[in-house]
Structure 1
């Protein structure tokens, strides 16, 4: 279980972060959230589908890395075999927290950086420094702060994106049946995708509405990303062959 603490240069001055990509560092994710402004970069490498939270019923666009839990087919020999890694993965083990700050006008909440102090990426002997020797943030930490800010605003914007799609009945459940080279059958269920026929049948007013919001291109990019299911199957076949 994650143990989030408020990052500060006093208690954490000697900490480093291991950036190597590996299962042992928590990269065995089979999907990860993305957002509208990131979809162009993500769709160049991964299938994008929608995950529905079983408790809230909320949909989130996600980049898919495998066909089952804890399977990341892009991990190989301690490296991530794609030139773009989603920001929600890049930011690990950092998160955005909130802290009450008292000013003359009263108390308000401000966003702060928190660290999963129990993450296997956290080290005192190897990795990239968080703070400079004589004070101040390292460039790595500055980059992480920028990623977290982009991610915060991007994920917040997902609600409007999803609401626009669902209001037009553009999301539908998907099932993907695959047969591997060794004859094994797998089925991917539980995710949603964009109904291409429904998207292509929208009225001109609805199309303009999606376009002005910046969602029309994102919707078509998500559809285009489905070609990468073939890449996932190829990676799965390669992984299975290596294990046999």
Structure 2
């Protein structure tokens, strides 16, 4: 049960955060929410796709980390097996709050990452913020900024009818067939057929790079399938 509170240097002066990645700390997840400004960093490691939001009325961009629920194929005994970790996971156990004066840093006091004895400290002995907490603040700021422009990109995808559902057929560690479904990817033929005016409009709106990064990320499906076949039992 999450317990989100405003972070402060009085009540939380001795809090520390365990930063290594493991299933025990909540990292056994098959996807991480993302936004177009992060696509460039993600596309070298993870497929970027869309899924329906919980209310079924819109779409949310996600980076796929596994091919079935609760599976993260990037977890290994040494931590995280990729050069880039999605911001949605790096920011944990912190989240963005707000009041009348602006954004705030909140923390989930029920997170297994919090400790009083190990991990990265949040505050200096005299009360100032540590470099680690400053980094977290920057990550939360990047997420907040990125999310502000995510709807514009989604509208562009939908207006040009560039999203399509797909089914990916894979095999589990016993060789049993499995289908990955419920996600949406770029309609490559429709994108290739966009005329100069449409491409110019997408470029002017700042969406063209994110489109190409999302398209490039599709090659990472082969990497996920290879990871599942190579070491499935280590990442469930």
TM score, norm. by length of structure 2? 0.95
Contact 1:93–1:121 under 8 Å retained in 2: yes
3-state SS in 2 of match to 1:157: helix
Contact 1:74–1:81 under 8 Å retained in 2: yes
1:91 corresponds in structure 2 to 91
Q: Give 5+ residue unaligned stretches, structure 1.
A: 100-107
Q: How far 1:242 sits from its partner (Å)?
A: 5.8
Determine whether 1:237 maps to 2:200: no
Contact 1:98–1:112 under 8 Å retained in 2: yes
Quote the Cα distance in structure 2 between the aligned partners of 1:157 and 1:232: 28
Contact 1:178–1:186 under 8 Å retained in 2: yes
TM score, norm. by length of structure 1? 0.92
1:123 corresponds in structure 2 to 115
Q: How far 1:233 sits from its partner (Å)?
A: 0.8
1:163 corresponds in structure 2 to 155
Q: How far 1:29 sits from its partner (Å)?
A: 1.4
3-state SS in 1 of match to 2:63: strand
1:43 corresponds in structure 2 to 43
Quote the Cα distance in structure 2 between the aligned partners of 1:242 and 1:53: 30
Segment drifting more, 162-171 vs 173-182 = 173-182
2:32 corresponds in structure 1 to 32
1:187-211 deviation line (CA, Å, top 9, x unaligned): 1000000101111111211110111
Q: Give 5+ residue unaligned stretches, structure 2.
A: none
1:200 corresponds in structure 2 to 192
Quote the Cα distance in structure 1 between the aligned partners of 2:46 and 2:26: 19
Contact 2:97–2:104 under 8 Å retained in 1: yes
Q: How far 1:8 sits from its partner (Å)?
A: 0.2
Contact 1:2–1:116 under 8 Å retained in 2: yes
1:102 corresponds in structure 2 to none
Q: How far 1:179 sits from its partner (Å)?
A: 3.2
Contact 1:47–1:63 under 8 Å retained in 2: yes
RMSD of aligned residue pairs (Cα, Å): 1.5
Contact 2:173–2:228 under 8 Å retained in 1: no
